[in-house]
Amino acid sequence: MCGRFNMLATPEQLAEAFGLAEVPGYKTSYNIAPGQKILGIVQTEPNDFRAVGLDWGLVPSWARDSKIGHSLINARAETLGDKPSFKAAYRKRRCLIPATGFYEWQKREGGKQAYHVCREDRGVFAFAGVWEHWAQGAERLYSCAIITAPANALMEPIHDRMPVIIGAEHYRIWLDPRQTRQSLDALLAAPDYEGMARYPVSDRVNNPRHDDRYCLA
């Protein structure tokens, strides 16, 4: 799964990486947790990417209560095209979720060890995501989920799943609403994990209230 990540790139780095004109309301964070508002990249017009704020925890448009989002922070790549909670978003509302690293915990005797997984060059990358628009009365909510897949060799010793990373050369394909499910499934089956590394970090990151550089100590 993916239940915690960080976003430490500058607005200028984000604009360059995703071809954005602006990044409104963006701030860096060492410890992003479910339920928080996160940065998403969506396509509003052909070849036009836009940065938007999305609540992490997807609320389907048909949901009676927005609390369902608490349990929908991740979507499995193997099933999201068929599950009622995700299939409409997978077909029409895909997004990129920028990150500079994510955290996972390895179970050990006497506790857990937190690991930080990032590019070896510490550069920005993007998780594959889906987003939804939910409305009830005057309440409006834009939310998202991060797509996960079975862990690769780097992550297997720590956890059995990991977030899908979309390579920069595939950003436009992923966001293009005209793409077929076959082409999208193929993208999810070949994530870009090139140049990733993992490092043990402080248990300070265990608490989502901690948001400082010591999370990476």
Q: What are the catalytic residues? A: 2, 104
Residue 149 CB contacts under 8 Å (≥ 6 apart), including other chains: 76, 77, 78, 161, 162, 163, 164, 188, 189, 191
Strand partners, 48: 45
Structure tokens at 18: 């995703």
Give the CA distances from residue 37 to residues 56, 75, 115, 153, in Å, rounded to whole numbers and listed in that order.
6, 18, 23, 31
Q: Tokens standing for 85?
A: 């909670």
Assess contact for 114 and 129: CB atoms under 8 A: no
